[in-house]
Chain A
Amino acid sequence: MSNNVNQQVEREVVFGIVPVLPRERKYNFPDAFLVLSGYCIATWSYTQGSYLAGLVGFQQLLIGAFFAAILLLAIYQLPTILSVRYGIDVWVWLKSVFGPRGVQIMTVTIIAINFPWYAVCAELFASSMANLAGVFGFQPPSGIHVALSVLSVAIGTFIAYKGIGAITWTTRILVPLLLVLGLVVIYVGVTSVPADVVWNYKPKVPANPDRMASYLLSIEANFAFVITLVGGMAGVPRLTRKENAGFWSGVFGQGLSGSLFVVVGAVMAIAMQHATGKMVDDPTLMLATLAGPALALCSLLLVAFANIGTQAVGSYLYAVMLKSSFKKADYRVLILILAAYVAALCAWGEITKHFGTFLTISACVYAPLAALLLVDFFFVRSQKLALRSAFGLPGHHAYDYTAGINWVGFFCVAAGIAMSLSIYNPLTGQIHCKALFYLTPTGFSFLGTGLLYFAMSKIPPIRSYLLRDRSEITV
Chain B
Amino acid sequence: MEARTSPRPPDQLNQWIEERIQLMEAPGHAFPQRFSKGDWLLVAAVATLCLAVIVAGAFL
Residues of chain A touching chain B, judged by Cβ–Cβ distance below 8 Å, are 7, 10-11, 14, 17-19, 21-22, 25, 57, 59-60, 63-64, 67-68, 70-71, 74-75, 78, 81, 84-86, 212, 215, 219, 240-244, 246-247, 251, 327, 387-388, 391, 393-394, 474-475
The interface bits of chain B over 1-22 (1 if a CB of A lies within 8 angstroms of the residue's CB, else 0) are 0000111101001101110110
Q: Is the CB of A241 within 8 A of B32?
A: yes
15 chain-A/chain-B pairs, Cβ below 8 angstroms: A7-B7, A19-B20, A19-B21, A19-B24, A71-B47, A74-B50, A242-B33, A243-B34, A244-B35, A327-B10, A387-B21, A387-B24, A388-B18, A391-B17, A393-B17
Q: Which residues of B sit under 8 angstroms from A19, Cβ to Cβ?
A: 17, 20-21, 24
Using known A-B contacts A243-B34, A244-B36, determine if residue A21 contacts B20 with beta carbons closer than 8 Å: yes
Q: Which residues of A sit under 8 angstroms from B23, Cβ to Cβ?
A: 21
Q: Is the CB of A17 within 8 A of B13?
A: yes
Interchain CB contact (< 8 A) of B57 among A21, A67, A74, A75: A67
Query: Smallest Cβ distance from A446 to chain B, in angstroms?
Result: 13
Query: Smallest Cβ distance from B14 to chain A, in angstroms?
Result: 5
Measured CA separation A241–B57 after assembly (Å):
37
Measured CA separation A7–B8 after assembly (Å):
10
Minimum-distance CB pairs A-B, first 3? A71-B50, A63-B57, A67-B50
Q: Which residues of A sit under 8 angstroms from B35, Cβ to Cβ?
A: 81, 243-244, 247
Known: A63-B56, A85-B31. 4 other contacts (CB 8 A): A64-B54, A68-B50, A251-B46, A474-B25
Q: Is the CB of A86 within 8 A of B13?
A: no
Closest residue of A by beta carbon distance from B8: A14
Query: Smallest Cβ distance from B24 to chain A, in angstroms?
Result: 5
Q: Which residues of B sit under 8 angstroms from A18, Cβ to Cβ?
A: 13, 16-17, 20
Majority secondary structure of chain A interface residues (helix, strand, loop or mixed): helix
Using known A-B contacts A64-B57, A71-B50, determine if residue A241 contacts B14 with beta carbons closer than 8 Å: no
Q: Is the CB of A74 within 8 A of B8?
A: no
Using known A-B contacts A387-B24, A391-B17, determine if residue A71 contacts B32 with beta carbons closer than 8 Å: no
Measured CA separation A85–B14 after assembly (Å):
20
Q: Is the CB of B18 within 8 A of A393?
A: yes
Q: Is the CB of B60 within 8 A of A85?
A: no
Using known A-B contacts A21-B20, A215-B58, A388-B18, determine if residue A63 contacts B43 with beta carbons closer than 8 Å: no
Q: Which residues of A sit under 8 angstroms from B16, Cβ to Cβ?
A: 18
Using known A-B contacts A22-B30, A70-B50, A240-B32, determine if residue A11 contacts B20 with beta carbons closer than 8 Å: no
Q: Is the CB of A86 within 8 A of B24?
A: yes
Q: Is the CB of B60 within 8 A of A57?
A: yes
Measured CA separation A474–B22 after assembly (Å):
9
Q: Which residues of B sit under 8 angstroms from A25, Cβ to Cβ?
A: 32
Q: Is the CB of A475 within 8 A of B50?
A: no
Q: Is the CB of A244 within 8 A of B54?
A: no
Using known A-B contacts A60-B60, A243-B35, determine if residue A11 contacts B7 with beta carbons closer than 8 Å: yes
Q: Is the CB of A388 within 8 A of B54?
A: no
Measured CA separation A84–B32 after assembly (Å):
7
Q: Is the CB of B54 within 8 A of A219?
A: yes
Measured CA separation A394–B50 after assembly (Å):
46
